[in-house]
Amino acid sequence: MPSIRNMSLLQKDIQNIWHPFTQTYGSEAPVAILKGEGLYLIDEEGNRIIDAVSSWWTSIHGHCHPYIAQKIAEQASTLDHVIFAGFTHPKAVDLSQHLLRLLPANFSKIFFSDDGSTAVEVAIKMAVQYWHNQGQTKNRIIAFKEAYHGDTFGAMAIGERGAFTKAFESLFFEVDFIDAPLPGSEERCLQQLQEAMRSDTAAFIFEPLLLGTAGMQMYSVEVLQKMVDLCKAAGVLTIADEVLTGFYRTGKCFATNNLKSGSDIICLSKGITGGTMALGVTACAQHIYDAFVSEDKFKTFFHGHSYTGNPIACAAACANLELLATADSLQKISELCRLQAQWAQHFAAHPALRGARNLGTITALEIKTGDNTSYFNTLRDTIYQHFMRKNILLRPLGNIIYVLPPYCITADELQHIYSEIELFLNQLHTKS
Ligand SMILES: *Cc1c(COP(=O)(O)O)cnc(C)c1O
C-alpha cells in the first residue's frame, strides 16, 4: 500500500469512501470528475463526458452556469447560514415568492428541507398531523406500487417493495398500494383507488404523469385528474411528488399544472437549484397550514433540519428560477420537448425495442428482453459501460434507456447521443 500522499485520487477514494447504490465488490472504480461545463463532465484525463442524465436528474441549465455560480459565491460571502427557527433571510423569502408564483394557485406556504426524500417525509408528516390536529386518526397512505419516493424510511415505505427494501420491510408502516394507471390499465386503477380509500385514509401520494425510477413509465393527465377528483370527493389529501417532474421536465413547470387545480401538498427538489445545491421544498395549501396554527402548542409541526432554509441553497434556487423565467430558457425547453418527441417517434418501430415514449424533455426507449433473463440482468451494465466508452453518461433503468439532459443541450448534441444509441440498438438486434 503506497503512503496516502502518493496515492492517486481513485486509490484514496476507494480507501475512504462508500458510494451510493454501488456494490463495491466487483465494480469498476468510480470516474474522477474534475470539472463540469454545460452539458459536459470532464474527467482526470480531460475526456468530455456528455451528462445525458443531468447527474441524477438535477442539472437544469448545465453544469457550472456562471450566473448561478456567481449568486452562490455572493451569498456564501454575505450570509452562509442561519438557524431557520426564529430567523429568516432575504433569499428564503425571495424563493418562497418565486415558487408561489409558479405553483398552482391553491398553494400558499413553503416548507424547506434538504432533498427529495426529506421533502416527501415532510409531506407525509404534514398530511397525518393535519388530521391529528383536528382530532381525527387518519394515518393510512395510498401509493402506487411501482413508485419511488426516496430512500429514508417513510419514503421507502410508500415506494416499490423489492430487493432494495427487503432488509427493512419489517420496520415499515402499512401502506395501501394500488397499480399505477399505465396506458390500458386506467379503469382498473381507478377501481383500485376507490376500494383503497377508507375512513382512516390520510392521503394519496403519486408521481404525477411520470414514474421515473420505475423506468420512465408515463400515464395520462385524464386519469390523474380522475384520481385527484376521487380523492377530493372522499376527503383524502393529495400529495404530488414532483421531485423529478418539477421545473419543466415534463414540458410545463410542474406536471400538476395540467390538472384543473393543484394537489393539497407538493414535493420539490432535484432541479430546484439547477443541480447545484441540495434543497427540498414541501409546499401546501392554506387549509393544511391552518390546521397547525393554534393556541395549542402540541399542534406545532415539529420538524426541521440543521440546514433548513440554507441561504446558499436558496440563493442557488433563486438564480435557477430567474434563468428559467427567461425567454431563452423557455425557448430551449420547448425546442427540447419538440426534438425529444421526434426522437421517440424515430425509434418507435425499431426492431430491438418494445417501444419508445416521450413526455416533455424526457424520452425513454424500452429494449426487448425476450425471456433470456440472465442476459437481461447484465444488459444494464453492458449498456452503461458501452456508452461510457463513448463518453456518454446514460444510466439505464434495467432494460430502459432514457435521455434526460440539461436544457442547454443542442440539437446536434442530442443527435449525437441518439446516433450512438441507434448504432448500439442495431448491433443488439443483429446479435439476437
Ligand atoms: C429522486 C426522487 C426522490 C428522492 O429524492 P432524493 O433527493 O434522492 O432524496 C423522491 N421522489 C422522486 C419522484 C424522485 O425521483
Given a cut of 70, is residue 292 above it in pLDDT? yes
Domain end, chosen from 300, 324, 348, is at 324
Tell me the pLDDT of the chain averaged across its residues. 96
How would residue 390 be classed by pLDDT, with cut points 50, 70 and 90?
A: very high
197 in the same domain as 175: yes
Residues with CB under 6 A from ligand 1: 115-117, 120, 148-150, 207, 212-213, 241, 243-244, 269-270
Distance CA 280, CA 270 (A): 8
316 in the same domain as 219: yes
Annotate the chain with three-state secondary structure: CCCHHHCCHHHHHHHHCCCCCCCCCCCCCCCCEEEEEECEEEECCCCEEEECCHHHHCCCCCECCHHHHHHHHHHHCCCCCCCCCCCCCHHHHHHHHHHHHHCCCCEEEEEEECCHHHHHHHHHHHHHHHHHCCCCCCCEEEEECCCCCCCCHHHHHCCCCCCCCHHHHHHCCCEEEECCCCCCCHHHHHHHHHHHCCCCEEEEEECCCEECCCCCEECCHHHHHHHHHHHHHHCCEEEEECCCCCCCCCCCCCHHHHCCCCCCEEEECHHHHCCCCCCEEEEEEHHHHHCCCCCCHHHCCCCCCCCCCCHHHHHHHHHHHHHHCCHHHHHHHHHHHHHHHHHHHHHCCCCCEEEEEEECCEEEEEECCCCCHHHHHHHHHHHHHHHHHCCEECCCECCEEEECCCCCCCHHHHHHHHHHHHHHHHHHHHHC
Given a cut of 70, is residue 187 above it in pLDDT? yes
Which residue from 57, 230, 214, 63 is spatially nearest to 142, judged by alpha carbons? 230
Angle (CA) 225-226-228 rounded to 5° is 65
Rg (CA), the chain: 22
Domain end, chosen from 293, 309, 324, is at 324
How would residue 107 be classed by pLDDT, with cut points 50, 70 and 90?
A: very high
Copy the grid coordinates of residue 89: 433571510
252 in the same domain as 191: yes
Q: How many domains does the chain have?
A: 2
- Over residues 52-66, the pLDDT tens digits come to 999 999 999 999 999
How would residue 7 be classed by pLDDT, with cut points 50, 70 and 90?
A: confident
Q: What is the pLDDT of residue 377?
A: 66
How would residue 374 be classed by pLDDT, with cut points 50, 70 and 90?
A: low
For a substitution probing ligand 1, which of 57, 121, 122, 148 has the most ligand atoms within 8 Å of its CB? 148
Q: What is the pLDDT of residue 27?
A: 81
- 388 compared with 432, residue with greater pLDDT: 388
Q: Ligand 1: which residue has its CA nearest to atom 5?
A: 116
**Residues making up the chain, counted from first to last:** 432
Copy the grid coordinates of residue 231: 380523492
**Is residue 4 left, alpha or beta, with left meaning phi > 0 and alpha meaning psi from -120 to 50?**
alpha
CATH of the domain at 95: 3.40.640.10
291 in the same domain as 261: yes
Going from the Cα of 317 to the center of ligand 1, the distance in angstroms, rounded, reads 17
Copy the grid coordinates of residue 309: 432554509
Q: What is the pLDDT of residue 217?
A: 98
Distance CA 88, CA 136 (A): 33
Q: How far is CA 276 from the centre of its chain?
A: 14
Distance CA 129, CA 302 (A): 10
Q: What is the pLDDT of residue 1?
A: 52
217 in the same domain as 279: yes
Q: What is the pLDDT of residue 375?
A: 53
Q: What is the pLDDT of residue 24?
A: 85
76 in the same domain as 49: no
Q: Which atom of ligand 1 is nearest to the CA of 278?
A: 7
422 in the same domain as 352: yes
Angle between helices 186-196 and 221-234 (to 10 degrees): 20
Going from the Cα of 350 to the center of ligand 1, the distance in angstroms, rounded, reads 31
- Over residues 78-99, the pLDDT tens digits come to 999 999 999 999 999 999 999 9
Given a cut of 70, is residue 46 above it in pLDDT? yes
Q: What is the pLDDT of residue 26?
A: 83
For a substitution probing ligand 1, which of 59, 219, 243 has the most ligand atoms within 8 Å of its CB? 243
How would residue 370 be classed by pLDDT, with cut points 50, 70 and 90?
A: confident
At 196, which amino acid appears? Answer: A
Given a cut of 60, is residue 372 above it in pLDDT? no
- Over residues 127-175, the pLDDT tens digits come to 999 999 999 999 999 999 999 999 999 999 999 999 899 999 999 999 9
240 in the same domain as 155: yes
340 in the same domain as 302: no
225 in the same domain as 306: yes
Distance CA 204, CA 227 (A): 9
Going from the Cα of 149 to the center of ligand 1, the distance in angstroms, rounded, reads 5
Kindly state the average pLDDT of the residues 239-252.
98
Q: Which atom of ligand 1 is nearest to the CA of 151?
A: 9
Given a cut of 60, is residue 362 above it in pLDDT? yes
Domain end, chosen from 324, 354, 377, is at 324
Q: Which range marks the domain in which residue 96 is found?
A: 68-324
- Over residues 309-340, the pLDDT tens digits come to 999 999 999 999 999 999 999 999 999 999 99
Going from the Cα of 426 to the center of ligand 1, the distance in angstroms, rounded, reads 33
Q: Which atom of ligand 1 is nearest to the CA of 242?
A: 13
